[in-house]
Structure 1
């Protein structure tokens, strides 16, 4: 299975190898390069990427790095820190993506896999999907932004409990906490995630990117600053081709056709 593929306006990125869903440096570099290129695209181009779909290679989404390699490294500090920095080079453009990101999360999302799933906008899991920090189990602290993302999603107190007790979160809990968007039958995870990504990719790409940007800055903004940013953003949307199509469709009492 290739690391990267295009399905119309959907960019598909495989983020793990093998049945267990192992993350490695070579794979991360390919995905990182593809995500970085999104920043330079014209979102209104019919050929632009409109959504990113992250998926695994087998029955699990991703269970993190190869722990045996960690143990075998002569310079464990340097090796593990270097891998974390490579991982973070992927997380940065994922978090800053100008288009929506979707994770197809069958089986386990543990360690780095959980960090990746939490960094995506939307996640589809199966009835048997589980997430677990996993870092304390090998005597590590988290990477991948988990200590930043998780408390913003579930609150500081619940994040402390999950991380300090290395809690295993089942599908029902993941839905209740908002860590997954949908739970479907295990066999339907990939298909439902694909459908969700394609729907987003046909939507107003520039506007959805602006929504992501506004949401990302809200934690560091005052209400006055956010209102100013919203006014500027909605004005830019109104002046663009997506706004033009949306208003025309409304006037003509039809569904908008942003991107086929």
Structure 2
């Protein structure tokens, strides 16, 4: 299997890219594996997702070797199959209440940037580097890269990265907002696990509402968005999580948020 998934009893889903010998390049099998993993997260009572990758590099993008063996209609059909699966996986992960943490190392290129950017919290090892790569081979972006980058770093920086394909270090990626923060390579796995575990103990339904509000707010006018916030807040306050959170605050204790039915 090129994508592994383990869902613990406490609700943590660890999704692992397992094609390290090929830089975790995304071929059709891996794209479908990501979709299967995302659907498994949607089916189960998942409270947090941790996305990691085996090998030296997180993901170098699409499998150009696989693509190069095809041409004409066959290539076009194949690319649609890859992007359909990959994009459905991204849509499914985005629709979860459970927040996603990504731990990235080494080379991150092409669709690998899309996977890293799709996470709510993205931790990058100091040795990570980011290259859009698409236009360097005459391609245009996929994996949500042309959607995520302008929202994370601004349209001007996004075009700089997409058109010049210049290599971006982990420290610059953190400075411009492409990743959340950087850590030493030897600490990446532990810090990512700590972050995911902290989110795992949080209010999953409130996390889901927050994710949706932030996404909607990027394209909404202020007035309708304020109404959306009010409705979400009222729902959260009346729910089990809201009641437990307030009781814990007033009782000066740590909250014990219940596991609630996921909203997709």
Superposition TM-score, scaled by structure 1 size = 0.91
Task: Check 1:128–1:142 CA distance in 2 against 1; reply closer, same or farther (3 A cut).
Answer: same
Q: Work out the CA distance in 2 between the residues paired with 1:27 and 1:198.
A: 26
Q: Residue 53 of structure 1 corresponds to which residue in structure 2?
A: 50
Unmatched tracts of structure 2, length 5 or more: 260-264
Pairs within 5 Å for 1:17-56: 17-19=19-21, 20-39=23-42, 48-56=45-53
Q: Residue 14 of structure 2 corresponds to which residue in structure 1?
A: 12
1:120-167 deviation line (CA, Å, top 9, x unaligned): 111111111111111122221110111111011111111111100012
How far off is 1:259 after superposition? 5.2
Task: Check 1:132–1:102 CA distance in 2 against 1; reply closer, same or farther (3 A cut).
Answer: same
Q: Work out the CA distance in 2 between the residues paired with 1:223 and 1:16.
A: 43
Q: Work out the CA distance in 2 between the residues paired with 1:82 and 1:39.
A: 21
Q: Determine if contact 1:64/1:112 at 8 Å carries over to the other structure.
A: yes
Unmatched tracts of structure 1, length 5 or more: 42-47
1:40-67 deviation line (CA, Å, top 9, x unaligned): 66xxxxxx21111111121211112221
Q: Determine if contact 2:35/2:85 at 8 Å carries over to the other structure.
A: no
What is the total number of aligned residue pairs between the two structures? 254
- After TM superposition, which residue ranges in structure 1, 4 or more long, deviate above 6 angstroms? none
Q: Determine if contact 1:118/1:179 at 8 Å carries over to the other structure.
A: yes
Q: Residue 219 of structure 2 corresponds to which residue in structure 1?
A: 220
- RMSD, aligned α-carbons: 1.8
How far off is 1:32 after superposition? 1.7
